[in-house]
Chains A and B, each alone.
Chain A
Amino acid sequence: MTTDGKLTLHVPEPAVRPGGTPDFSNVKIPKAGAVPRPEIDVEPETIRDLAFSIIRVLNRNGEAVGPWAGLLSDEELVAGMRHMMTLRTFDARMLIAQRQGKTSFYMQHLGEEAVSCAFRMALQPGDMNFPTYRQAGLLIAGGYSMVDMMCQIYSNSRDPLKGRQLPVMYSSQEHGFFTISGNLATQYVQAVGWAMASAISNDTKIAAAWIGDGSTAESDFHAALVFASTYKAPVILNIVNNQWAISTFQGIARGGAGTFAARGLGFGIPSLRVDGNDYLAVYAVAKWAAERARRNLGPTLIEYVTYRVGAHSTSDDPSAYRPKTESDAWPLGDPIIRLKNHLILRGAWSEERHKQAEAEILDTVIAAQKEAESYGTLHAGAKPSAREMFEGVYAEMPPHLRRQRQQAGV
């Protein structure tokens, strides 16, 4: 407030910048198990406080506690563990491949593996995700071929997208994975439309929309919420809050809302916040929202509270805008270590099995990489033909494109 009547502009800043000591004291973390689990058909206005808390299952000792626990078997959790480890290994190998010049660009998931891996297990065949570029766990956990993913990344002769798309912008209708756009937030409202179509058609499928904290500022996000709310579309509206939108901290997109989940409240959409680094919590909340959608009760908005440990992409250097050790200070820990501790406590895992799994997974990823590289990499070996560039613009190639293709001599 000013006393002289003169206005000033408020421009939010993160608590700490490079050179400072990381500080997450502003992130209020409730105890695991503390947040109640409402009935599926709860009236949204009675659970508004869930938009301001954090649903957590795994406590500091690795125990699964509270009303959201107890949904997954040992086998399912071990599978989840392997999915997350595979995604992390896949990322590590592809980052190196990018540095080696085998592709132009890569985006990793480090620290965020639980979100997409656990969410995928709450869906059924036929459901459709409208993902961003940081949900490859949906594909890994859904059993999509790693070789195909790598061929896309390498833009090689077996690239399912024929070299047309930027690396990691996968597409697989069969695996419920809508073609990724490099333009932000466009998919969010499309997911709502897809879900509306399922309802119009009296189908049983549901949709999942994905967006990052930063992109919730786009108009398409707000349009998605109003359509989802008005038509009670069977859609799960996911917001992955990993704290950073390239160099921009989450406060710039969030403004005075308190939380991103709270964005849903004005639309009357049940809005939950969940510990995004807790595989069990992510699964439990996703399952709750999926069931709501499937029972025709309408949309649910979920904010996953997590942290982007790595750079935004291979074109980014986070040390320029946040303390280097900030990820170590992140209070919700590492999703793989947390699930590992839990599995060991359950007697379903051990340090030895973990090491063994790491080695096996590395072998599998390397084998996939070798195969993918045998079909070429961006600048070496076999590549998609220039002819492919002219295909698929229209269902049938119009005469002017045919002419241009001839001119190009391909």
Chain B
Amino acid sequence: MARMTMIEAIRDAMDVMMARDEKVVVFGEDVGYFGGVFRCTAGLQQKYGRTRCFDAPISEAGIVGTAIGMATYGLRPCIEIQFADYMYPAYDQIVSEAARLRYRSNGEFTCPMVVRMPTGGGIFGGQTHSQSPEALFTHVSGLKTVVPSNPYDAKGLLIAAIEDPDPVIFLEPKRLYNGPFDGHHDRPVTPWSKSDLSEVPDGHFSLPLGKASIVREGTAVTVLTYGTMVYVAQAAAAETGVDAEIIDLRTLLPLDMETIAASVRKTGRCVVVHEATLTSGFGAELSALVQESCFFHLEAPVVRVTGWDTPYPHAQEWDYFPGPARVGRALVETMEA
């Protein structure tokens, strides 16, 4: 075990996989010599050489398109899109190609590829460095979508993603790179070194895709969340005293419906929390699934707490970000409903 930040854990996962499997290649904008703008790939080029970790031209369509080509050859590309907000030029390659190669070629061509992207807000990045586009991926048949919330999970899930036979979108909440964040932006930053979740196993270790984690057991209400909001939800539960059971989904697709349904059947209430906008967000899917599988156990309507349906603003970041006050209010109201 070693203490790691989320950045170090992600880097370690790639390092372990590059050492084990020479088919693993890593590339993206500023990823090679410099090691990425968030330093997730620092040192990998020096260790594995320029043909296994390299800088790409600023062309997200090119990065994803060439990665698909490499995957169909038999390599295992683990590529970086510098910010999830920059993903859109690559969307055609992801949706029409990566996601469907297996299906349309009846398994002749497959795409074992990981697309890593920093996601989410909380860093005053404005509308082009703060978005949470997970629902744009979960809506696409053929993709898996992962959102880790701590160094331990990040390493285990990234290794599982690299080993997965299908394309995986790996969204890294950038506000969590250097420490957990509970939405109290006016308080000192907590580093990962103070959290048990920064204890990461050495060498190869993986966590199954599709297995949620109960981060706080409770009896009053189930909170379904992922990424940065895992910590916001915990703060909200602590501050309101609501005995919430908080589930960190970890992977959105495949989804751990078993854990979700068991919890909601126990608590009878459900609050869904995410940073992304409300309308057609992943929360809508969760809400529908809970209603379908737990309707007769529900004692209150499923509530969603999300980012507002506006572009992500710069100055009004903390009015936009669904912080502990908003989540806490939803918990209390759900209990009173």
Residues of chain A touching chain B, judged by Cβ–Cβ distance below 8 Å, are: 8-9, 11, 13, 17, 104-105, 155, 159, 162-167, 169, 181-185, 214-215, 217-220, 245-248, 252-253, 255, 315-316, 320-321, 378, 383-384, 386, 388-390, 393, 400-401, 404, 408, 410
Task: Say whether, besides A165-B127, A219-B89, A393 and B311 are in contact (CB < 8 Å).
Answer: yes
Q: Give the contact stretch, choosing among B26-34, B109-117, B201-209, B253-261.
A: B26-34
Q: Are B124 and A105 in contact (CB under 8 A)?
A: yes
Q: Are B89 and A218 in contact (CB under 8 A)?
A: yes
Total residue contacts A-B, CB cutoff 8 A? 129
- Alpha-carbon distance between A220 and B310 when the two chains are bound, in angstroms: 25
Q: Are B315 and A383 in contact (CB under 8 A)?
A: yes
Q: Which residues of B contact A315 (CB under 8 A)?
A: 37
For chain B, which range describes its interface: under 10, 10 to 19, 20 to 34, or 35 or more residues?
35 or more
A-contacting residues, B39-64, CB 8 Å: 50-51, 54-62
- Alpha-carbon distance between A155 and B125 when the two chains are bound, in angstroms: 13
CB distance from B152 to the nearest CB of A (A): 27
Residue B219 is within 8 A (CB to CB) of chain A in the complex: no
Q: A219-B89, A248-B30 given. 5 additional CB < 8 A pairs?
A: A166-B314, A217-B57, A218-B89, A245-B58, A246-B30
Task: Say whether, besides A247-B30, A389-B319, A214 and B57 are in contact (CB < 8 Å).
Answer: yes
Q: Are B30 and A384 in contact (CB under 8 A)?
A: no
Q: Are B315 and A164 in contact (CB under 8 A)?
A: yes
Q: Are A182 and B128 in contact (CB under 8 A)?
A: yes
- Alpha-carbon distance between A278 and B127 when the two chains are bound, in angstroms: 35
CB distance from A22 to the nearest CB of B (A): 16
Which residue in chain A gives the minimum CB-CB distance to B65?
A: A219
Q: Which residues of B contact A155 (CB under 8 A)?
A: 314-315
Which residue in chain B gives the minimum CB-CB distance to A12?
A: B55
Query: Mask for B80-96, Cβ within 8 A of A = 1, else 0?
Result: 00000110110000000
Q: Are A219 and B316 in contact (CB under 8 A)?
A: no
- Alpha-carbon distance between A181 and B85 when the two chains are bound, in angstroms: 11
Q: Are A11 and B310 in contact (CB under 8 A)?
A: no
Which residue in chain B gives the minimum CB-CB distance to A321?
A: B34
Select one of B125, B311, B319 contacting A386, CB under 8 A: B319
25 residue pairs of the A-B complex, CB under 8 angstroms, read A8-B51, A9-B51, A11-B50, A104-B124, A159-B315, A162-B315, A163-B314, A165-B126, A165-B314, A167-B314, A182-B129, A183-B88, A214-B57, A215-B58, A219-B61, A246-B29, A248-B29, A248-B34, A252-B57, A253-B58, A320-B34, A378-B124, A389-B308, A393-B311, A408-B308
Q: Are A389 and B310 in contact (CB under 8 A)?
A: yes
Residues of chain B touching chain A, judged by Cβ–Cβ distance below 8 Å, are: 29-30, 32-34, 37, 50-51, 54-62, 85-86, 88-89, 124-129, 278-279, 308-311, 313-316, 319-320
CB distance from B174 to the nearest CB of A (A): 12
Q: Are A389 and B88 in contact (CB under 8 A)?
A: no
Task: Say whether, besides A165-B314, A169-B126, A404-B308, A248 and B55 are in contact (CB < 8 Å).
Answer: yes
Which residue in chain B gives the minimum CB-CB distance to A163?
A: B315
Q: Are A389 and B29 in contact (CB under 8 A)?
A: no
- Alpha-carbon distance between A215 and B61 when the two chains are bound, in angstroms: 12
Q: Which residues of A contact B319 (CB under 8 A)?
A: 386, 389, 408, 410
Q: Are B127 and A217 in contact (CB under 8 A)?
A: no
The winner among A253, A320, A386, A389 for most chain B CB atoms within 10 A is A389
Q: Which residues of B contact A393 (CB under 8 A)?
A: 309-311
Sorted nearest first, the 3 A-B pairs with minimum C-beta distance are A163-B315, A182-B128, A166-B126
Which residue in chain A gives the minimum CB-CB distance to B315?
A: A163
Q: Are A183 and B316 in contact (CB under 8 A)?
A: no
